[in-house]
């Protein structure tokens, strides 16, 4: 309940400037959940949890803690990550970590909160397009951009959902179901208007969502090493390729034949 309110409040205030989807570079400039502002937002949205009071320290420490969490838990999982591992990786003492957070679980909660906020921004953006087809196209593109910028966050939430309280586990599932329902609704309206042709709008919608998940869950599929941080230009190219692949696939399923 609390987290839902958090999303509504903040998503509307953050979305003052619309996000620019013309390229990854312009997306990064306009997407609020990125760079330094990302950790400021984490701090603001979790001021009840974060113990450190001065924003300057809090933001810097949150960045170190979360980066270390992604690094350690990617290979061994959140449960196996001890706070001693974390403190070593983050270059902070246990005391510093616990002056920032109050429980290990808080780390997972903050990550989940940001991913949910990002999903909220994604679904809000889709509303702004006019044609049904561009709603779908833009939705796919936004999702790919956001889940690339926040790849470790999305990945973490998917695989560590079971570290969260049950209520939040259900919420995560619900977000996936809402994503499918959103695509399904657009498709169904297209079918009703005679613009699309399919006997199973839900299946097509589900396929889109699953392919979007594949993007941030299994970067190793695309042959790209990814670990060696590749340039924005290369990422741009890969996203363009993949979104075009999805678009063509969806067009074949909905428009042709």
Partner DNA sequence: ATAAAAATAGAGCGAGCGTTCGATTTATTG
Partner DNA sequence: CAATAAATCGAACGCTCGCTCTATTTTTAT
Residues found near a second copy in the complex (CB under 8 A): 75-77, 79-80, 159, 162-163, 173, 176-177, 180, 199-200, 203-204, 206-207, 210-211, 213-214, 218, 220-221, 245, 248-249, 252-253, 256-257
Q: What DSSP string runs through 61-123? A: HHHHHHHHHHHHHHHH-TTT--HHHHHHHHT--HHHHHHH-SSHHHHHHHHHHHHHHHHHHHH
Partner that binds at residue 59, options DNA, a second copy, none, CB closer than 5 to 8 Å by kind: none
Place of tokens 């593109």: 141
CB of 82 to DNA, least distance (A): 3
User: Would you say 144 and 215 are in contact if contact means Cβ atoms under 8 Å apart?
Assistant: yes
3, 6, 23, 105: which one binds DNA (CB under 7 A): 105
Residues 81 and 104: their CA atoms lie apart, in Å, by: 10
Report the residue number, 84 or 221, with the smaller CB distance to DNA.
84
Partner that binds at residue 56, options DNA, a second copy, none, CB closer than 5 to 8 Å by kind: DNA
Burial (0-12, 13-18, 19+ Cβ within 10 Å), 195: middle
Q: Dihedral of CA 86/92/95/101: which sign?
A: negative
Partner that binds at residue 111, options DNA, a second copy, none, CB closer than 5 to 8 Å by kind: none
* 94 binding DNA? (CB under 7 A): yes
CB of 5 to a second copy, least distance (A): 26
Partner that binds at residue 76, options DNA, a second copy, none, CB closer than 5 to 8 Å by kind: a second copy
* 52 binding DNA? (CB under 7 A): yes
User: Would you say 92 and 57 are in contact if contact means Cβ atoms under 8 Å apart?
Assistant: no
Report the residue number, 142 or 155, with the smaller CB distance to a second copy.
155
CB of 98 to a second copy, least distance (A): 21
How many other CB atoms sit within 10 Å of the CB of residue 229?
9
Report the residue number, 55 or 211, with the smaller CB distance to a second copy.
211
DSSP character for 77? -
In 3D space, the residue among 131, 104, 123 whose CA is nearest the CA of residue 174 turns out to be: 123
Q: Which residues bind DNA (CB under 7 A)?
A: 51-54, 56-58, 61, 81-85, 92-96, 98-100, 102-105
């Amino acid at each position: 309940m609390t987290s839902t309110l958090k999303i509504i409040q903040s998503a509307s205030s953050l979305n003052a400037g619309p996000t620019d989807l013309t390229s990854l570079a312009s997306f990064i400039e306009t997407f609020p959940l990125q760079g330094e502002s990302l950790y400021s937002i984490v701090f603001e949205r979790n001021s009840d949890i974060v113990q450190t009071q001065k924003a300057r320290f809090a933001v810097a420490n949150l960045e170190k803690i979360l980066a270390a969490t992604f690094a350690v838990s990617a290979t061994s999982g959140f449960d196996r990550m001890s706070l001693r591992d974390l403190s070593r990786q983050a270059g902070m003492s246990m005391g510093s970590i616990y002056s920032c957070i109050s429980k290990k679980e808080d780390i997972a909660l903050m990550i989940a909160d940001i991913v949910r906020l990002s999903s909220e921004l994604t679904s809000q953006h889709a509303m702004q397009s006019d044609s049904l087809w561009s709603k779908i196209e833009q939705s796919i593109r936004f999702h790919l951009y956001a889940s690339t910028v926040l790849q470790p966050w999305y990945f973490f939430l998917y695989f560590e959902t079971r570290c969260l309280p049950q209520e939040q586990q259900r919420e995560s599932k619900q977000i996936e179901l809402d994503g499918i329902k959103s695509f399904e609704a657009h498709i169904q309206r297209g079918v009703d208007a005679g613009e699309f042709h399919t006997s199973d709008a839900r299946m097509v919608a589900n396929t889109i969502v699953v392919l979007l998940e594949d993007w941030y869950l299994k970067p190793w599929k695309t042959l790209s090493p990814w670990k060696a941080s590749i340039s924005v230009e290369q990422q741009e190219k890969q996203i363009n390729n993949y979104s075009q692949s999805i678009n063509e696939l969806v067009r074949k399923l909905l428009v042709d034949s």
